[in-house]
Structure 1
Amino acid sequence: MRKLFGTLALISTLVVAPALAQDGYQTDASHAVIMDYETGEVLFSQDGDVAMPPASMSKMMTVLMVLEAIESGSLSLDDELPVSEYAWRTGGAASGSSTMFLEVNSRARVEDLLRGVIIQSGNDACIVLAEAIGGSESAFADMMTDRAHELGLTSASFANATGWPDPGQMISARDLAELARILIRDHPDFYGIWAEREFTYNGIRQYNRNPLLGVFSGADGLKTGHTEDSGYGLVGSAERDGERRIIVFNGMDSNADRANEAERMMRAALSDYSVYDLFDAGDHVDHNAPVFMGEADSVALQVDADVSAGLHRRARRDLVVSVNYDGPLVAPISAGDVVGTLRVEAPGYETQEYPLVAAEDVARKGLMGRIGAALAHMIRG
């Protein structure tokens, strides 16, 4: 995060900035999001809040459920799980879909199944894990949906563990990015698996489909997806110089288009966007609000939370921060009272508002002082 000094225009009236559509990032993806990992700020969005069919990118939620089961002790990496005929027929070699090539009525270790899901995108591995945790794939899908909503991923609904096309299998690009952020932040011991380039199981060697791995320096995850309904999509993450970005896009026309867009979008995410630190919690803004009937004529205003803005580098010069309140404020005022808002605007940036609080107490004038203030107010009109 970068501290922004000297270029911050602080005003007390609303300024409307011009749109940056033609100057910001451009993509042919139907849905796309660039997210800053540290803050969770969305730096770029194209229909990023619109639910879409995620294809195999929804396997990230399956993996999260498995990792939480492992950490709760209800599942272990060494557990050997049975491969049901349903799992084999629906997601195995017989299905013609992405598979780990599990054999029907065999048993597989949870650790191998995890790699089968993450690296090979094995539908059979997903179903085996789903049946072990939920009893059935459909019951597990309900658990996935419930857990996603608990985590604030409100656009998510899951009908299966694999991402197989279904009208009930939907999630937004923003929520997929947040899901990736959760996996990276909360499960660091397992995150390295997402960067593994290949995995051999049952004598069959398969390769990670993520086009960023080995091509884009710092890339280390996460998941591709493709169906006829969704097109080609990706959730990717990379870290450079201490900054990590997460990208999500969907709806590309081909595998080659996905690979090209992945590299182009990640380069823009790390080169063209920055998160600027505007205020730290407790900072005073450069504006005092007038006070009526107070023992002091004005009161200092401060923010009660960190304020930052993730911007395209070309939008920085047009950043506008405005102080907004109904004034004058009327005494008495207590320190910490919310008295206004700080509005942050820039071209191509989703306007944000933060509470402004009084920095100190302002007592009400005594009787004679109030009479004098009222007379002065009447004289001034």
Structure 2
Amino acid sequence: MTGRFRHSLGGVALAILTAFGTGAQAQVGGFDSAAPSIYIRDLGTGTVLMNRGADVPLPPASMSKLMTLLMLFEAVEDGRLSMDTTFAVSERAYRMGGSRMFLEPTDRPTTEDLIRGIAVLSGNDASVVAAEGLAGSEEAFAQLATRRAQELGMRNTTIANSSGWPHPDHLMSKRDLAILAEHIITEYPQYYPYLSESEFVWNDIPQSNRVPLLGSGIGMDGLKTGFTSAAGYSLTGSARQGDRRIVFAFGGLDSEAARVREAEAIVNWAFRQFQNVSLGNAGAVMGEAPVWLGASSAVALVLGDSRDVLLPATASRQVEGRIVYDGPIPAPIAAGDQIATLIVDIPDMAPLELPLLAATDVAEGGFRVRAEAAARKLAGMVVGSARDAMN
């Protein structure tokens, strides 16, 4: 005697939702990215603000150096390296083309030097030195990095080298790059400031960070650019304003200037066209569900923890909330059991799905409850049979 029930939110819950002043995206605020592949996510709420071709494995260019940095961070935290550990510069590393830290064969850079050489200067030579120092060879490093990426949920990533040098098997999706960026920001905040340093000098050669808009006042604070003919002008970036932070990854643009414009447009759009709103604190009642053969006929449905949602800032009342469950819910029910889902439908955005929990225990009903339920069921069967006989 179960079925799929959908209850519109009433009372307090409906008032909370409609008070947000939310509206449709078409795109929200009129923004439409110029990038053929792009992924934007709000870290606080987990809301995906834009997803276009984000799961397609594509050449990442130097953005994949974030994986090399992560492997260095993890080695330091594991105690396999210290920030003062020194590395040898191989002939292979020294001969690397493209962007360089300008390491010499006689140099003995430390872990910290290599982190800066990769994070600030995007040094291909520094990346190879790090890979060889960590795994013995760049090929062995690529296998380790690919395995680690899979462990992090980066399902569309295959690492073939440490630098992002063009290789047919070196591929990452934009979603995977955002996953990697978020992991670095949240798990290794002590190292994240290296990615926002404006300049690093090695062998008396000063070079500037290639990440655009650092220090511009819009909250952009780091990660990694990339460019090859296959990848186009690309960027994995993050920005923070107030208590909100976004991460994003895009690629395929045709100029450095277009990359700068795109980054600024993303940051302005994400922070100006969306607002962070509290749906309710832990224990807030969102509705109730009927109970089958229970000591109580219904149970309240509550949020398990405080929940914030990110919604478009345009003023309208086009957001709808509904509670979905298989019911009536059979007793016994334990407080804290997830027995329903709150679905918030927002035009032109993916629905938000939030678990709802039973607010209280509901024991099985006694003999009287079961007898009354059996009588109601029998009466329903009799009425149904009578109707069938009349047809």
TM-score category, normalised to shorter length: 0.7 to 0.9
Find the counterpart in structure 2 of residue 239 from structure 1: 240
Q: Which letter does structure 2 place at the counterpart of 1:153?
A: M
Q: Which letter does structure 2 place at the counterpart of 1:237?
A: S
CA distance in 1, matches of 2:16, 2:297: 29
CA distance in 2, matches of 1:204, 1:363: 74
CA distance in 1, matches of 2:305, 2:92: 51
Find the counterpart in structure 2 of residue 88 from structure 1: 94
Give a deviation string over 1:148-192, Cα, whole Å, max 9, x none. Answer: 222222322211100112232222222222222222222222222
Q: Structure 1 pair 339/85, CA: closer, same or farther in 2 (3 Å)? A: same
Whether contact under 8 Å (2:23, 2:317) holds in the other structure is: no
Whether contact under 8 Å (2:218, 2:267) holds in the other structure is: no
Indicate the larger mover: 155-164 or 37-46: 37-46
Q: Structure 1 pair 219/22, CA: closer, same or farther in 2 (3 Å)? A: closer
Q: Structure 1 pair 18/316, CA: closer, same or farther in 2 (3 Å)? A: closer
Q: Structure 1 pair 189/356, CA: closer, same or farther in 2 (3 Å)? A: closer
Q: Which letter does structure 2 place at the counterpart of 1:102?
A: L
Whether contact under 8 Å (1:85, 1:105) holds in the other structure is: no
Matches within 5 A, 1:65-76: 65-76=71-82
Find the counterpart in structure 2 of residue 327 from structure 1: 327
User: 3-state SS of the aligned residue for 1:235?
Assistant: strand
User: 3-state SS of the aligned residue for 2:178?
Assistant: helix
Find the counterpart in structure 2 of residue 160 from structure 1: 161
Match of 2:17 among 8, 27, 51: 8
Q: Structure 1 pair 7/137, CA: closer, same or farther in 2 (3 Å)? A: same
Whether contact under 8 Å (1:311, 1:349) holds in the other structure is: no
Match of 2:55 among 16, 32, 49: 49
Find the counterpart in structure 1 of residue 171 from structure 2: 170
Find the counterpart in structure 2 of residue 13 from structure 1: none
Shift of 1:60: 0.8
Find the counterpart in structure 2 of residue 340 from structure 1: 340
User: 3-state SS of the aligned residue for 2:87?
Assistant: strand
Matches within 5 A, 1:83-162: 83-89=89-95, 91=96, 95=97, 97-162=98-163
Shift of 1:315: 8.2
Find the counterpart in structure 2 of residue 38 from structure 1: 44
Shift of 1:232: 0.7
Scaled by the length of structure 2, the TM-score of the pair is: 0.85
1:349 matches 2:339: no
Find the counterpart in structure 1 of residue 277 from structure 2: 276
Q: Which letter does structure 1 place at the counterpart of 2:294?
A: G
1:218 matches 2:227: no
Whether contact under 8 Å (1:316, 1:346) holds in the other structure is: no
Structure 1: where are the runs of 5+ without partners? 11-16
CA distance in 2, matches of 1:168, 1:108: 29
Q: Structure 1 pair 81/260, CA: closer, same or farther in 2 (3 Å)? A: same
Q: Percent identity?
A: 44
CA distance in 2, matches of 1:77, 1:371: 73
Shift of 1:316: 7.1
Q: Structure 1 pair 295/31, CA: closer, same or farther in 2 (3 Å)? A: same
Give a deviation string over 1:185-217, Cα, whole Å, max 9, x none. Answer: 222222222122122212222111111113343
Q: Which letter does structure 2 place at the counterpart of 1:215?
A: S
Q: Structure 1 pair 53/305, CA: closer, same or farther in 2 (3 Å)? A: farther
Whether contact under 8 Å (1:58, 1:163) holds in the other structure is: yes
Whether contact under 8 Å (1:315, 1:347) holds in the other structure is: no
Structure 2: where are the runs of 5+ without partners? 1-12, 384-391
Whether contact under 8 Å (2:23, 2:312) holds in the other structure is: no
Q: Structure 1 pair 187/291, CA: closer, same or farther in 2 (3 Å)? A: closer
CA distance in 2, matches of 1:8, 1:19: 14
CA distance in 2, matches of 1:237, 1:311: 19
CA distance in 2, matches of 1:341, 1:294: 21
Q: Structure 1 pair 191/363, CA: closer, same or farther in 2 (3 Å)? A: closer
CA distance in 1, matches of 2:190, 2:337: 43
Whether contact under 8 Å (1:291, 1:329) holds in the other structure is: yes
Indicate the larger mover: 306-315 or 17-26: 17-26
Q: Structure 1 pair 173/68, CA: closer, same or farther in 2 (3 Å)? A: same
The number of residue pairs the alignment matches comes to: 366
Q: Structure 1 pair 18/296, CA: closer, same or farther in 2 (3 Å)? A: same
Q: Which letter does structure 1 place at the counterpart of 2:15?
A: G
Q: Structure 1 pair 143/297, CA: closer, same or farther in 2 (3 Å)? A: same
Q: Which letter does structure 2 place at the counterpart of 1:362?
A: V
Q: Structure 1 pair 327/38, CA: closer, same or farther in 2 (3 Å)? A: closer
Shift of 1:19: 7.2
Q: Structure 1 pair 329/74, CA: closer, same or farther in 2 (3 Å)? A: closer
Q: Which letter does structure 1 place at the counterpart of 2:372?
A: G
Indicate the larger mover: 123-132 or 327-336: 327-336
Match of 1:20 among 25, 29, 45: 25
Whether contact under 8 Å (1:43, 1:273) holds in the other structure is: no
Shift of 1:256: 0.8
1:360 matches 2:369: no
Shift of 1:253: 1.0
